[in-house]
Amino acid sequence: MNAAPQAVTAKVLPANAATGSTLPALNAWVAQVAASTQPDAIHWCDGSDAESAMLIEKMQADGTLHPLNAQTHPNSWLHRSNPDDVARVEHLTFVCTSDRDDAGPNNHWMAPADAHARIDALFDGCMRGRTMYVIPYCMGPIGSPLSRCGVEITDSRYVVANMRIMTRMGAPALKRIEAEGHFVKGLHSIGELDPERRFIMHFPEELTIKSYGSGYGGNALLGKKCHALRIASHQARSEGWLAEHMLILGIENPQGETHYIAAAFPSACGKTNLAMLIPPEGYRRDGWKVSTIGDDICWMRPGEDGRLYAINPEAGFFGVAPGTSQKSNANAMATIQHDTIFTNVGVTADNQPWWEGIGNGQVPVTDWRGDPFDPATRPAAHPNSRFTVSARQCPSYSDMAEDAKGVPISAIVFGGRRASLVPLVFEARDWTHGVLVGASMGSETTAAATGAVGVMRRDPMAMKPFCGYNYGDYFAHWLSFDKPGAKLPKIFHVNWFRKDADGKFVWPGFGDNLRVLEWMIGRVNGTTEAVETPIGALPAPGAINLDGLALAEDSRRLLFDYDRDGWRQEFAGIAAYLDEYGERMPQALKAEQRRIAELLETAS
């Protein structure tokens, strides 16, 4: 089915396996897109090795990909994006629902007809002289009932190469789409890469995405944030499941019992590091093991036993390079040793990828823009530079990630970067409280999205840029899972980023985060102690194993205390925040906020 490029008369595509699909609706859509975008050729992607080799050859020839050192990084490539196209662009990202309130104050909105008109005008004739690639893909294991399929049409070979890593793409996905008869439509063109002519539009009611003018990450790999979060969150609401911005990891204790934990952190808050955590030496000796199911997105649905079962809809990692090192994430470093696409990193004299924080003693000679490296001009790697790599290359990747029924979730963790106030960990008293914890979480911004860095903003459930509908309705959907027969996970909040008076992080983080996860598992099993406070249950003194950590008494206090006055202010801020969503904010969530605010006034 790896069709030779064909001249397009853009009338009718043959409905046969050689050049198209057996699904008339898919052929018709491809023909309609070809008629408007006018490509020179159409290529239906089958996902084969031969196809990949052909694309890589073309990308090397046109300078899209540069080979890296084949001895140290076999089969690995450097891509330099347009310098104006290096991150998600929230201000150009729209959710286009018939009723503005359905998109909610958490999204930029445009009326569907206006949005189609604006973006279709850009697509008009935009693929002249280019090949149009048709990428059938499946988000999640091909055989899983929790998976959902889509087709991305793009004129970017880089997108095809990334989608091949990040999704189950090609012939098996097309087969499933043809059997199901429906799919999410994603249309993408890099256009002129002009920020003035750039939009990422979502039409949840039509299960359609249109993205123009960016070739980068979340703007262009439409299976990821556009489909697996914005469109899927809408689908999930109508079908009774959850599409979340969460990593999934498995923890096996020395008794051989495995618990799966899903965790939501805002962008670039160390999710990939946590998903690939390596237990501290003593824990490894005692038999603790951590396995990775996913590092970014989690789809969960109640199983027949009332528990939530989760899959990772992705097949690869699109991870932030800066800060990734042997110390922070040895599993990631092993994963990206071969068959990896690096985007916007620096390179060393012997052509190895390099980024700030890599900590391998090497030095960059060329920066991410291809200029000689000069620290006075810019960092060697862009702060949002990335690696794209298959999850199967990760030493901690779990076979359970391919399990069609998903993994049962024991605990959900919310977290953010909070320099002050928020303790290392606390447990929500029940599901409603947990939903409030998720709804009110906040973090200091990072470079993953364009805009100011280091500013605290609320990012409920780390879904602010990704929830495809009104947050009020989204919280109501979360609350609706608490029904008779449900055996829901416990919900926790963590803060790895608390700082002391000198501005230093108090908690060592990385592998030592397992100490906190161990406490959570103890809470799930009912074997670990906690102290009730108005904000939730904090670890009882001694309940978290701190053996071997050099933590001063002051640091321990910062990690485990709660400051009642500070929380009173925080809860006033939470009330104001919930009010911003008006009538759609569930009363139950506001009542929960009031319950805790009152406790903070009265409890000692």
Q: Catalytic residue numbers?
A: 269
417 binds, among Mn ion, ligand O2Y, none (CB under 5 to 8 A by kind): none
Q: Does 314 bind Mn ion (CB under 5 A)?
A: no
User: Quick one: DSSP state of residue 230?
Assistant: I
Task: Give the nearest distance from C-beta 119 to ligand O2Y in angstroms.
Answer: 19
Task: Give the nearest distance from C-beta 313 to Mn ion in angstroms.
Answer: 12
What is the spatial distance between Cα 256 and Cα 525, in angstroms, rounded to a whole number?
Answer: 14
Listed ranges 138-146, 185-193, 211-219, 427-435: which one lies at the site for ligand O2Y (CB under 6 A): 211-219
What is the spatial distance between Cα 116 and Cα 122, in angstroms, rounded to a whole number?
Answer: 10
- DSSP assignment of 296-318: S-EEEEE-TTS-EEEE---SEEE
- The count of other CB atoms within 10 Å of the CB of residue 495 is 23
The β-bridge partners of 75 are: none
Q: What are phi and psi of 228, to 5 degrees?
A: -70, -20
Residues 6 or more apart whose Cβ sits within 8 Å of residue 158: 59, 64, 65, 79, 215, 220, 341
Q: Which of 73, 80, 88, 307 binds ligand O2Y (CB under 6 A)?
A: 88
The β-bridge partners of 203 are: 208
Q: What are phi and psi of 563, to 5 degrees?
A: -100, 105
Instruction: With both helix axes pointing from N to C terminus, report the angle between 431-439 and 587-602 in degrees, rounded to the nearest 10.
Output: 90
Listed ranges 3-11, 24-32, 109-117, 290-298: which one lies at the site for Mn ion (CB under 5 A): 290-298
Q: Which is nearer to ligand O2Y, 93 or 351 (CB)?
A: 93
208 binds, among Mn ion, ligand O2Y, none (CB under 5 to 8 A by kind): none
Instruction: With both helix axes pointing from N to C terminus, report the angle between 232-239 and 471-479 in degrees, rounded to the nearest 10.
Output: 40
Task: Give the nearest distance from C-beta 59 to ligand O2Y in angstroms.
Answer: 19
Q: Does 314 bind ligand O2Y (CB under 6 A)?
A: no
Task: Give the nearest distance from C-beta 225 to ligand O2Y in angstroms.
Answer: 6
What is the spatial distance between Cα 564 and Cα 118, in angstroms, rounded to a whole number?
Answer: 51
**Contact 232/125 with Cβ under 8 angstroms?**
no
Q: Which is nearer to ligand O2Y, 33 or 222 (CB)?
A: 222
Q: Does 296 bind Mn ion (CB under 5 A)?
A: yes
Residues 6 or more apart whose Cβ sits within 8 Å of residue 61: none
Q: Which of 21, 107, 147, 267 binds ligand O2Y (CB under 6 A)?
A: 267
User: Quick one: DSSP state of residue 37?
Assistant: H
Q: Does 217 bind ligand O2Y (CB under 6 A)?
A: yes
Q: Quickly tell me which residue has 């439509």 as its tokens.
A: 185
User: Quick one: DSSP state of residue 540?
Assistant: P
Kindly report the length of the chain: 604
Q: Does 163 bind ligand O2Y (CB under 6 A)?
A: no
Task: Give the nearest distance from C-beta 381 to Mn ion in angstroms.
Answer: 18
Q: Does 344 bind ligand O2Y (CB under 6 A)?
A: no
Q: Which of 384, 432, 513, 593 binds ligand O2Y (CB under 6 A)?
A: 384
Question: How many chain residues bind Mn ion (CB under 5 A)?
Answer: 1
Both tokens assigned to 275:
């998903």
Residue number with the smallest Cβ distance to ligand O2Y: 217
Q: Which is nearer to Mn ion, 213 or 270 (CB)?
A: 270
CA 459 to chain centre: 14
Listed ranges 62-70, 212-220, 420-428, 516-524: which one lies at the site for ligand O2Y (CB under 6 A): 212-220
Q: Which of 30, 65, 87, 187 binds ligand O2Y (CB under 6 A)?
A: 87
Q: Which of 218, 280, 364, 438 binds ligand O2Y (CB under 6 A)?
A: 218
Q: Does 318 bind ligand O2Y (CB under 6 A)?
A: yes
Q: Which is nearer to ligand O2Y, 137 or 318 (CB)?
A: 318
Listed ranges 216-224, 350-358, 451-459, 485-493: which one lies at the site for ligand O2Y (CB under 6 A): 216-224
User: Quick one: DSSP state of residue 488?
Assistant: P
- Label the pairing between strands 407-415 and 308-311: antiparallel
Q: Which is nearer to ligand O2Y, 120 or 194 (CB)?
A: 194
Residues 6 or more apart whose Cβ sits within 8 Å of residue 559: 423, 424, 498, 506, 507, 551
Q: Which of 187, 448, 494, 521 binds ligand O2Y (CB under 6 A)?
A: 448
Task: Give the nearest distance from C-beta 269 to ligand O2Y in angstroms.
Answer: 9
What is the spatial distance between Cα 576 and Cα 572, in angstroms, rounded to a whole number?
Answer: 6
Using CB under 6 A as the criterion, which residues of the chain lie in contact with ligand O2Y when the complex forms? Answer: 87-88, 216-219, 267, 296, 318, 384, 448
Using CB under 5 A as the criterion, which residues of the chain lie in contact with Mn ion when the complex forms? Answer: 296
